[in-house]
A = this chain, B = another copy of it.
């Protein structure tokens, strides 16, 4: 789409008249409790100005393209908007030189409902170009004309549905002509003070901040790592509740009391694990009780690959073996190490981070407890850090 900066500015809320009384709460089909009957949801689209150069960041890459867990920041923002089913179209304005890179991002991370337009020389020009694409008067446009357009910064990745809903509600109620998620910035203050227009400050969450400096990228990465590490699934091939594998589960629950720890039978039972994956669990601990080969791990990795989970986030898989140090020859375990290294290298290409963990299994009850605790610490570290540099390692507790 060719931008025409000289064209007249479209009004964003021009079809939000009082007679139509769209209710923002009807927008959210998933939240039945807040849905009044018989109201029509307005068509909503989003425009993301993403033409910035990011000079404050101190790095050559514009901040919206900076990697966070090896994925560009803008992809997280797109993901946050995509998740909201009532946003019908998302228009991203990028500079000509970043157009191909942006297309690559959309393809690689399988983003949906995205259209690209060329950014203007200023943020406002970029927004204007995005709005023009949505105006419905372009002969080649496949986009439908929305009633409300949300303008959202490409560098605010943590926007939640309820905040977007509040904005759309406010757009309806206050009829603002240029609504923006930059809460509390001088723009809104000026509008309120001098513009004689109706405007409203919508309460956001502290997570809705703008990634501006390098430290914000660090913070974003830590927040994302924390979010995807809130659920650990133990895959265990025994129902024997006295087995040491179940004791590891208890210790994990004890040490990681802010994390949900669930256990499931192995992959051949199928359904259970499918469900865990659909709940977006990104951390798996495969406790090998009956076998010491890689069959279970291979099945789990295949299922993960089928689930597409690792397209957006690195998935951690830890293969745990209990080792009776005195009775098992170490060379044999070493064979395993070499196997896991090669295999881990292979699955890393699919964004799955595989490590091994040997838990030393002494007869002494006190020492066993210590081994289990150290095992839990190592598992917690690998899941929290999610660092690809340690892939294929065999750690010992």
Contacts and interface: CB of A to CB of B under 8 A. Distances in A.
A173 interface: no
A394 interface: yes
A34 B313 CA distance: 51
A220 B385 CA distance: 16
Contacts of A220: 215
Interface in A376-397: 377-378, 380-381, 385, 387, 389-390, 393-396
Contacts of A381: 387, 389-390
Contacts of A222: 215, 218-219, 221-222
A389 B380 contact: yes
Given A215-B223, A219-B218, A222-B218, A395 B396 contact: no
Nearest to A380: B389
A56 interface: yes
Interface residues of A, number: 30
A174 interface: no
Interface string A66-83: 000000000000000000
A237 interface: no
A202 to B, nearest CB: 19
A59 B167 CA distance: 28
A227 to B, nearest CB: 12
Interface string A183-222: 0000000000000000000000011010001011011111
A294 interface: no
6 contacts: A206-B213, A209-B215, A377-B389, A378-B389, A378-B390, A393-B395
Interface of A: 56, 206-207, 209, 213, 215-216, 218-223, 330-331, 334, 337, 341, 377-378, 380-381, 385, 387, 389-390, 393-396
Given A219-B222, A381-B387, A385-B387, 8 more contacts: A206-B215, A215-B219, A215-B220, A221-B222, A330-B331, A377-B389, A381-B390, A393-B395
Query: Which 3 pairs of residues, A with B, have the shortest CB-CB distance?
Result: A381-B389, A218-B222, A215-B219
